[in-house]
Amino acid sequence: MDILNKKHRSGVKKPFRLEEIWRIRTRLEIENSFMQLALLNLAIDSKLRASDLLPLKVCDISSQDRMFTRVKHIQQKTDVEVQFEITARTQQSLMKWIFVATLKTSDYLFPSIRRKQQPISYSYYRYLVRKWASNLGLDPSLYGTHSMRRTKATLVYAKTKNIRAVQLLLGHTKVDNTIRYLGVELEDALLLSEGTDC
């Protein structure tokens, strides 16, 4: 039983559903948690792994007080370039956070309070994601930093059924990885194939 629970905890992390994201946003807005709101929104928009998201600096997403609408980024794990959009909502939350925290262009977007000139740690990011899940009454062990990477990808796939588009957004080199990542069932894949006329 313990082995089963351990496997369950360390398995693929669930994405958040759209209504859950809105509930998290609302709570963070009420609490004036500017950093967490900016982190949540950028994590969803960028679909980046924690190893790529946390080291981002202010200059990576803005220039001369102007927020970029699109960003190109080379992923550390794969060395593959991905592009992501920064939606108007995310731009607004980032600008507010940068202003409140008085961040300079060379500063990390999400600086650590304890470690000087370092971004927040992976473990703190994971703690925040699990706290957001817990606040919604969800099992926090089912959520982690990868939940943020999967959230928008899952929503895009659910809306479009376009695996290739999601593959490009995530920067996967093989479509098989994207299929596994999204948990696309064989039946779903066959229906997609049947609906495609060649």
pLDDT in tens, 79-123: 878 888 999 999 999 999 999 999 999 999 999 988 888 999 999
**Higher-scoring residue by pLDDT: 152, 45:** 45
Residue 26's pLDDT is what? 97
Instruction: Locate all alpha helices (DSSP H) within 11-87, ordered by sequence.
Output: 18-30, 34-46, 50-53, 58-61
Q: What is the CA radius of gyration of the chain?
A: 18
Q: Are 105 and 61 in contact (CB under 8 A)?
A: no
Q: Does the CA dihedral 184-125-25-57 come out positive or negative?
A: negative
Stretch among 45-59, 87-101, 138-152, 166-180 having the lowest mean pLDDT? 166-180
Instruction: Summarize the confidence of residues 179-186 as an average pLDDT.
Output: 64
Q: Does the CA dihedral 150-151-155-158 come out positive or negative?
A: positive
**pLDDT tens column, 154-171:** 877 777 778 777 777 777
Q: With 90 as the cut, is the pLDDT of residue 131 above it?
A: yes
Q: Which CATH number fits domain 11-194: 3.40.390.10, 3.40.50.2300, 1.10.443.10, 3.30.70.100?
A: 1.10.443.10
User: Can you give the residue ranges of every domain in the chain?
Assistant: 11-194
* Residue 156: Cβ-neighbour burial (10 angstroms; 0-12, 13-18, 19+): middle
Instruction: Summarize the confidence of residues 123-137 as an average pLDDT.
Output: 97
Of residues 11, 27, 9, 30, the one with CA closest to residue 19? 27
**pLDDT tens column, 31-41:** 999 999 999 99
Distance CA 81, CA 83 (A): 7
Distance CA 101, CA 67 (A): 16
Distance CA 142, CA 119 (A): 25
Helix (H) or strand (E) holding 74: strand 70-74
